[in-house]
């Protein structure tokens, strides 16, 4: 075995289907985020508080067993359920990597977008099946479901990237993404 190999991970075949309910195999941990986990992210705090009565699942992240350590490339499939809070689309918490690392997202099903922010400049990448969104090092990122069905994407990132979710709470994301007459309405944060 070469010196850069990381035991005990062996080469593996990972399968997934683009169907919304299909799991990955082999499967790893699944993270579920409910509306109550998204405190401070939606513009209309009162409407967000009202939505807590139902506390619906906003998104799930299903990971493979590849560890989040240096030298590895973990993968996950995120499913964001459709919906809005006072017109603002459902979204992931968003994060900045604690180490300067890039990441790729591949749209699998549904429609959405990748919102990026480097602290000065926001960027929006529309996502759909077959589109790859590239996230350069130093850019916070969040995914948004802009459709009326689940939006699902594959993420691949260096295992030592780290996730700083508080960065987004401190700095925002430059834009908020609302439903508008022409579809997606990007509003300054």
Instruction: Assess if residue 110 is contained within a domain.
Output: yes
What percentage of residues in the chain have a pLDDT greater than 70?
Answer: 88
pLDDT of residue 21: 60
Question: Is pLDDT of 146 > 90?
Answer: yes
Instruction: Assess if residue 7 is contained within a domain.
Output: no
Instruction: Assess if residue 177 is contained within a domain.
Output: yes
Query: Residue 103 is part of which domain span?
Result: 30-188
**DSSP state, residue 160:** T
Domain containing residue 119: CATH number: 2.60.120.10
Instruction: Assess if residue 9 is contained within a domain.
Output: no
- When divided into structural domains, the chain yields a total of 1
pLDDT of residue 36: 98
Q: What is the pTM of this model?
A: 0.90
Provide mean pLDDT across the span 43-48: 98
């Amino acid at each position: 075995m070469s010196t850069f190999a990381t035991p005990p991970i062996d080469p593996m075949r990972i399968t997934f289907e683009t169907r919304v309910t299909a799991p990955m195999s082999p499967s790893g941990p699944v993270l579920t985020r409910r509306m109550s986990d998204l405190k401070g992210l939606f513009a209309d705090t009162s409407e967000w508080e009202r939505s807590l009565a139902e506390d619906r699942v906003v998104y799930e992240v299903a990971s493979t067993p590849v560890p989040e350590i240096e030298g590895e490339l973990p993968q996950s499939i995120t499913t964001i359920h459709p919906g809005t809070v006072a017109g603002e689309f459902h979204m992931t918490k968003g994060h900045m990597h604690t180490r300067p690392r890039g990441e790729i997202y591949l749209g699998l099903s549904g429609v959405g977008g990748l919102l990026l922010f480097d602290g000065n400049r926001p960027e929006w990448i529309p996502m759909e099946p077959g589109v790859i969104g590239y996230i350069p090092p130093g850019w916070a990122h969040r995914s948004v479901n802009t459709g009326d069905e689940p939006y699902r994407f594959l993420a691949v990132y260096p295992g030592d990237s780290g996730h700083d979710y508080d960065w987004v709470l401190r700095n925002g994301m430059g834009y908020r993404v609302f439903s508008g007459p022409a579809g997606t309405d990007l509003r300054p944060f």
